[in-house]
């Protein structure tokens, strides 16, 4: 029994066409662009831009966005090729199963579950905070006991749980409705971002960009703490301090969170009308649009307010207050609420599709792969995902667990990049509607760039990631290795009978 057994591309496509597990193909290229932009523009652009500018890169944060965008762009090329070859639900999990084998597929699937669930829970808590502030602005005050988790001074974060459950209903009713809701909300937050860029450009003072890259500041020995609180790369090469060229790279690792989301587009491959054509458009197009917006936002923001004044949770609002336009803060809050809503929706969408693919393959109980007879959505795994997210969001305050989303995504990018090289060698005969250029250079650079950004995450994040992956290994060797359909030689029809 080999744990490196590979599920062929042909078998994956055949399984996706089984009536009992068939999803409805209704997504168009514009829907995929909406999903990608909806997932990418959220917490990162509304929060992290100011923090990274103040602590790491200064006005050069725009260069940090370019660095991080290039790393994501290299990985996006690999995702686009895989999605055009294997237009099946599951994203990086399915790609890894077809190229690197079952064991690596399980690891990446387990990793993605952590990324999506923790990410959706964390963003739900952030959504609750903005929602409570918006109500307060119009004179409606909610008791703290119902708007904060036990560890944050309350009893339960009810708004966070409610938004997660409401979006679960949207996901169960259908991917077409989910895409429509996403497109509407994306339009709102794009309008807010464009308003910030255009309106704010009139108040830019070029003096605030001097120096564009602040001089390097060596680490302060008095501020040194536990090695687990520092980026792992510091333990390898020593602490590099802040600002300067090293600050640009550190800023890129921090704002990488702002790019998370384009990979979730690949999870909708099985529900796309023309995946070979539309998946590359959705993946690469959404990343390109958001990269341009991020650079423009960071330039305007650091041009309005000096970078050392931007270490706040709402840097856009800080910029508007600095130019005497408090009325515009409400628009930013609207954009933030809209942005976070789509991020929650799409993270749960990604989790449900990955869990569905793993259950259909037998690595999770096949019960979770049941598709709704009317809506043609994987409703069981979707409901479970929504309930888990609601529980975590209602009872857990925002903390460093949010960084787990970064390391999980980067790990997925590394494996997908390697998978392209393996698939090119093992299955050169497969038709590829989209091909990564300059192979093997681009996939190798993508893997190295993403791994380097992983090294810039703190030690605690690596430790928690290691514990989660160790738990995944235990489950695989105790259950999944023996229950997978490949191990038992089952057909998709056998799985359908078991799911019922």
- Positive or negative, the Cα torsion across 129, 161, 120, 107? positive
Query: pTM for this one?
Result: 0.80
pLDDT value at residue 219: 66
pLDDT tens-digit readout, 127-156: 887 788 777 767 788 887 887 777 667 788
pLDDT value at residue 499: 58
Is the per-residue pLDDT at 496 higher than 70?
A: no
pLDDT value at residue 175: 64
Place of tokens 């690197």: 100
Q: What is the mean pLDDT of the chain?
A: 82
- Among 123, 118, 114, smallest CA distance to 39 is for 123
pLDDT value at residue 440: 92
Angstrom distance (rounded) from CA 77 to CA 84: 11
Is the per-residue pLDDT at 394 higher than 60?
A: yes
Is the per-residue pLDDT at 238 higher than 90?
A: no
SS3 377: coil
pLDDT value at residue 400: 44
pLDDT tens-digit readout, 377-391: 889 999 999 999 999
Judged on CB neighbours under 10 Å (0-12, 13-18, 19+), 489 is: exposed
pLDDT value at residue 168: 93
pLDDT value at residue 383: 94
- Residue 27 forms beta bridges with which residues? 272
Binning pLDDT at 50, 70 and 90, where does residue 494 land? low
pLDDT value at residue 497: 65
Q: Are 333 and 320 in contact (CB under 8 A)?
A: no
Q: What is the mean pLDDT of residues 243-257?
A: 79
Structural domains in the chain, sorted by start:
9-143+176-219+237-342+398-498 (1.20.1740.10)
Place of tokens 């990488």: 256
Is the per-residue pLDDT at 437 higher than 60?
A: yes
Q: Are 50 and 123 in contact (CB under 8 A)?
A: no
Strand (E) or helix (H) holding 480 = none
pLDDT tens-digit readout, 3-38: 778 888 888 878 777 776 777 777 888 888 888 887
Binning pLDDT at 50, 70 and 90, where does residue 404 land? low
DSSP-derived secondary structure letter, 157: B
Pick 476 or 114 by higher pLDDT: 476
Write the Ramachandran bin of 101: left for phi over 0, alpha for psi from -120 to 50, otherwise beta: left
Distances (CA, A) of 122 to 332, 398, 432: 20, 6, 37
- Among 117, 38, 132, smallest CA distance to 401 is for 117
Q: Are 40 and 287 in contact (CB under 8 A)?
A: yes
Is the per-residue pLDDT at 210 higher than 50?
A: yes
Average the pLDDT over each of 55-59, 244-248, 394-398 and give the range with the smallest value: 394-398
Q: Are 14 and 261 in contact (CB under 8 A)?
A: no
Angstrom distance (rounded) from CA 252 to CA 43: 15
DSSP-derived secondary structure letter, 335: H
SS3 239: coil
Q: Are 86 and 12 in contact (CB under 8 A)?
A: yes
Pick 230 or 194 by higher pLDDT: 194
Angstrom distance (rounded) from CA 57 to CA 83: 35
Is the per-residue pLDDT at 65 higher than 50?
A: yes
């Amino acid at each position: 029994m080999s744990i490196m057994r590979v599920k062929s591309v042909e078998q994956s496509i055949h399984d996706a066409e089984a009536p009992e597990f068939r999803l409805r193909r209704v997504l168009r290229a514009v829907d995929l662009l909406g999903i990608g932009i909806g997932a990418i523009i959220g917490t990162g652009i509304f929060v992290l831009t100011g923090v990274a500018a103040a602590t790491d890169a200064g006005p050069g944060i725009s260069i940090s966005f370019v660095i991080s965008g290039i790393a994501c762009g290299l990985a996006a090329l690999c995702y686009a090729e895989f999605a055009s070859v294997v237009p099946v639900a599951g994203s990086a999990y399915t790609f890894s199963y077809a190229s690197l084998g079952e064991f690596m597929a399980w690891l990446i699937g387990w990793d993605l579950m952590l990324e999506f669930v923790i990410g959706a829970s964390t963003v739900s808590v952030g959504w609750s905070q903005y929602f409570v502030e918006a109500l307060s602005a119009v004179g409606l005050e909610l008791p703290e006991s119902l708007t904060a988790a036990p560890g944050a001074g309350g009893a339960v974060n009810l708004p966070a749980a409610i938004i997660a459950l409401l979006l679960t209903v949207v996901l169960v009713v259908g991917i077409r409705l989910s895409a429509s809701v996403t497109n509407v909300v994306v339009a709102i937050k794009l309008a807010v971002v464009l308003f910030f860029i255009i309106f704010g450009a009139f108040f830019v003072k070029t003096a605030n960009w001097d120096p564009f890259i602040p001089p390097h500041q060596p680490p302060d020995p008095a501020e040194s703490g536990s090695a687990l609180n520092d980026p792992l790369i510091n333990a390898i090469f020593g602490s590099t301090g802040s600002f300067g060229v090293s600050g640009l790279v550190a800023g890129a690792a921090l704002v990488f969170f702002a790019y998370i989301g384009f990979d979730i587009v690949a999870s909708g491959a099985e529900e796309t009308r023309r995946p070979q054509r539309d998946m590359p458009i959705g993946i690469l197009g959404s990343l390109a649009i958001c990269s341009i917006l991020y650079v423009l936002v960071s330039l305007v923001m650091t041009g309005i307010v000096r970078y050392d004044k931007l270490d706040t949770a709402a840097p856009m609002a800080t910029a508007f207050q600095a130019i005497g336009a408090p009325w515009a803060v409400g628009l930013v809050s609207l954009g933030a609420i809209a942005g976070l809503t789509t991020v929650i929706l799409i993270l749960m969408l990604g989790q449900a599709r990955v869990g569905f693919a793993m259950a259909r393959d037998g690595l999770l109980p096949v019960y979770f792969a049941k598709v709704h007879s009317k809506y043609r959505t994987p409703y069981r795994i979707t409901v479970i995902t929504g309930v888990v997210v609601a529980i975590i969001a209602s009872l857990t305050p925002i903390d460093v667990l949010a960084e787990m989303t970064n390391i999980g995504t980067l790990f997925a990018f590394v494996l997908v990049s390697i998978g392209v090289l393996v698939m090119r060698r093992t299955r050169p005969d497969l038709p590829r509607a989209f091909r990564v250029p300059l192979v093997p250079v681009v996939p190798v650079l993508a893997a190295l760039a993403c791994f380097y950004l992983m090294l810039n995450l703190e030690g605690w994040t690596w430790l928690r990631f290691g514990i989660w992956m160790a738990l995944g290994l235990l489950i695989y060797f105790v259950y999944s290795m023996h229950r997978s359909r490949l191990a038992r030689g089952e057909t998709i029809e056998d799985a359908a009978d078991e799911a019922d």
